[in-house]
Amino acid sequence: MGEPRRGLSRRALLTTGSVGAAGAVVGAAGASAVAREAPAADPGTRTVAFRGAHQAGVVTPPQDHGVLVAYDLVEGADADALRRLFAIWTDDVARLTAGRAGLADTEPELALRPSGLTVTLAVGPGAVEAAGVDVPSWLGPLPAFSVDRLEDRWSGGDLLLQICSDDELVVSHALRLLTKEARTFATVRWVQRGFRGPLGRDRTPRNLMGQVDGTANPRPADHDALVWRSPTTTPDGPRWLDGGTTMVVRRIRMELDTWDEIDRTARERTIGRRLDDGRPLTGGRLEDDPDLDAVDANGLEVIDPFAHVRRARTDDRRQRILRRPYNYDDPPPPGELTDAGLVFVSFQADLERQFVPLQRRLAELDLLNQWTTPIGSAVFAVLPGARRGEQLGQSLLT
Amino acid sequence: MKRLTTLLLLAATTVGLTACGSSSDADPATEASTVSVQDPWVKAADSGMTAAFGTFRNAADHDVTIVSATTDGVAGRVELHEMATDEDGQMVMRQKKGGIVVPAGKTHTLEPGGDHIMLMDLTRPVEPGQDVRVTVRFSDDSTMSFTAPARSFAGAEEDYEGGTDHGDMEHGDMDHGDHG
Ligand code: HEM
Ligand SMILES: [Cu+2]
């Protein structure tokens, strides 16, 4: 009951305050005591720090909306061009994520409620080459997997921005501003928009197959060992990527129209977790690991030998990845009912040690493969964060 | 909150003025020392002319006037411009007579469609992400310099007064075209 009244009285004071100087003083003094609590009540003003050793948008709890945009550099773009582009983007991102308009922002009002906005910059092989730096062997197309039906229009890219916010309008505004500012340096290669379930942010959201998705992600305490590159996680370098990470973006179509044909039991068997609350089929709490050795009365494994979670796990705890996917749901082509799936995004310190063996196992055998088809794929290097006074990409360009 | 702060500042300035009466002559500060600029930027351009923008804040209790400006060599000529309506009812830009006034205790924003610092006869392309060093001179001959980063910008395509009568004049267009 107290909340709405506080909001009302604050607005009333502001109105009074703008009437005259005397009113302003009284109004401001009265309001400042009240206004201290207002930001918590207004999710639009929520900000996520941009400056730091790591970029935001990687281990940041996923916001409700996200867009991934890949760019191709224009002919002749060199290290100097990248330096100028990254200077522009650093300035824009610092402003936008703080709820301030971009420098040459034509719609400044759209910047004022960032709603947890993060913008994450990553480079593909083309940008590293343009910087005049050796391209790491893993920075390029993933090995071909038998399940792949990749389309060019969802694959590759020289540069990538991942833009996430709880407000879709904020995402669109940031995307347009950052793309406009880059127009002399790069052209848009592909754009993938996504959204997350409407559940509260403390609960694990669902994907369009109805599954609770994201449960077995590494915990914050594991991020240094599993996500961030450092002399410890990736002793062989390159050192310009310390503080960064590797990023896989795979567009995975869900065959929802054939998924409709199977019943709940078969659906749960496909994953190895329950549909209603996401708990392992072997019992326990949501956050518990499935018991891969458990057998039923007939001596059969409770978690199917080819269930997604069994195939996605190994005893090697260093092989884990951080998944940060978004759902997509596009207009279907003529004659089809659905075009939906996951913009699968994962972060891992070492792509070859963590992601590739996992994806290889899933491609070999995974019940889920019958209802999922990778149609796009790209690999990027997420640059380290920009501390105060630094620019994104600084380590790559020195 | 920003709004509240501004209101408080304005209130404080008003109080200050009343306390000092009209003793502004006693202030030894130069005009440049009381003015700051926020968010300066310049529109990227390949050739011809372009413009610089930004918000000037005057902390003094008297108006100050920017009377001229120069750059670090990128512009052959620099003028202070304003937007006005010509005989045909069109918005055109023209030199601002008497310079650009930043009112006491207030801000004055140079922006596309408003007052701006016109950079003419560009000696080289102003490329997006490059910095242009701009120096403004005040009526008391003091100067202030600032760095204006260049940005791609589709607007700020104003016609120069008389420009329509004389074709495109010698100023070329403000389009940035392609950079690499
Ligand atoms: C449309 C495609 C996919 C869907 C619908 C999907 C769905 C799920 C679901 C429902 C879970 C169980 C809950 C959880 O722990 O999040 C899960 C777990 C997991 N998935 Fe996927 N997944 C997909 C693709 C992938 C891909 C491409 C990879 C990696 C290459 C992957 C790796 C994992 C991992 C590592 C786990 C956690 C296993 C564990 O430790 O228990 N998934 N997935
Ligand atoms: Cu002009």
Ligand closest in space to the Cα of B117? 2
pLDDT at B160: 78
On the question of pLDDT at B21 being above 70, the answer is no
Could you tell me how many residues make up chain A?
398
Reading the block at residue B128, the tokens are 């997006």
pLDDT at A202: 52
pLDDT at A15: 33
B17, B11, B49, B41: which is closest to B172 by C-alpha? B49
pLDDT at B5: 39
On the question of pLDDT at B1 being above 70, the answer is no
Residue B7 at interface with chain A, using a CB cutoff of 8 Å: yes
Check whether domain B32-145 has CATH 3.90.1150.110, yes or no: no
pLDDT at A203: 63
For residue B127, the chain A residues in CB contact (below 8 A) are 84, 184
A131, A382, A143: which is closest to A246 by C-alpha? A382
Cα distances (Å, whole numbers) of residue A25 to A5, A206, B105: 22, 49, 17
Q: What angle do CA A217, A301, A366 make, to 5 degrees?
A: 50
pLDDT at A74: 98
Q: Please report the atom of ligand 1 found closest to the CA of residue A252.
A: 1
Q: A350 CB less than 6 Å from ligand 1?
A: no
**A-contacting residues in B 20-39 (Cβ below 8 Å):** 39
User: Which of A18, A84, A93 would best serve as a mutation to test chain B binding (most B beta carbons within 10 A)?
Assistant: A84
pLDDT at B84: 92
Using CA atoms, how far apart are residues A103 and A108, in angstroms rounded to an integer?
9
3-state SS, residue B166 = coil
Reading the block at residue B116, the tokens are 């701006």
Reading the block at residue A183, the tokens are 């127009």
pLDDT at A42: 86
pLDDT at A199: 57
Helices (H) and strands (E) in chain B, counts: 2, 11
Q: A215 CB less than 6 Å from ligand 1?
A: yes
Q: A340 CB less than 6 Å from ligand 1?
A: no
3-state SS, residue A206 = strand
pLDDT at B155: 86
Looking at residue A266, its amino acid is: A
A388 vs B5 pLDDT, higher one? A388
pLDDT at B156: 75
Could you tell me how many residues make up chain B?
180
Name residues of chain A where pLDDT drops below 50: 1-39
pLDDT at B64: 97
Using CA atoms, how far apart are residues B8 and A100, in angstroms rounded to an integer?
21
Q: A248 CB less than 6 Å from ligand 1?
A: no
Residues 6+ apart with CB under 8 A from A398: none
Question: Which range is least confidently modeled, A144-148, B64-68, B94-98, B152-156?
Answer: B152-156
pLDDT digit string, tens, across residues A187-239: 999 999 999 966 555 567 899 999 999 999 999 999 999 999 999 999 999 99
Using CA atoms, how far apart are residues A386 and A397, in angstroms rounded to an integer?
13
Residue A339 CA to its chain's centroid (Å): 21
Distance B159 CA to ligand 2 centre (A): 8
Q: Which of A92, A213, A350, A366 is catalytic?
A: A213
| Helix (H) or strand (E) run with residue B110 in it | strand B107-110
pLDDT at A198: 60
Q: Please report the atom of ligand 1 found closest to the CA of residue A346.
A: 29
Using CA atoms, how far apart are residues A70 and A190, in angstroms rounded to an integer?
5
Residue A213 a catalytic site member: yes
User: Backbone phi, then psi, for A191, in 5-degree steps?
Assistant: -130, 130
Residue A83 at interface with chain B, using a CB cutoff of 8 Å: yes
Minimum distance, in Å, between the CA of residue B54 and any CA atom of chain A? 9
Domain ranges of chain B: 32-145
Reading the block at residue A18, the tokens are 């703008």
Q: What angle do CA A338, A342, A348 make, to 5 degrees?
A: 170
Does the complex come out with an ipTM higher than 0.90? Answer: no
Using CA atoms, how far apart are residues A71 and A183, in angstroms rounded to an integer?
10
Q: Are A188 and A69 in contact (CB under 8 A)?
A: yes
Residue A97 CA to its chain's centroid (Å): 15
CA gyration radius, chain B: 18
The answer to whether the predicted template modeling score (pTM) of the entire model surpasses 0.90 is no
pLDDT at B4: 39
pLDDT digit string, tens, across residues B111-156: 999 999 999 999 999 999 999 999 999 999 999 999 999 999 998 7
Please give the residue of chain A at the shortest CA–CA distance from B7.
Answer: A24
Q: A211 CB less than 6 Å from ligand 1?
A: yes
Residue B98 at interface with chain A, using a CB cutoff of 8 Å: no
**Diameter over CA atoms, chain B:** 57
Q: Which of A28, A31, A184 sits opposite B152 (nearest CB)?
A: A184
pLDDT digit string, tens, across residues A327-348: 999 999 999 999 999 999 999 9
| Helix (H) or strand (E) run with residue A2 in it | helix A2-17
3-state SS, residue A111 = helix
Quick one: DSSP state of residue A186?
E
Q: Are A98 and A50 in contact (CB under 8 A)?
A: yes
Residue A91 CA to its chain's centroid (Å): 21
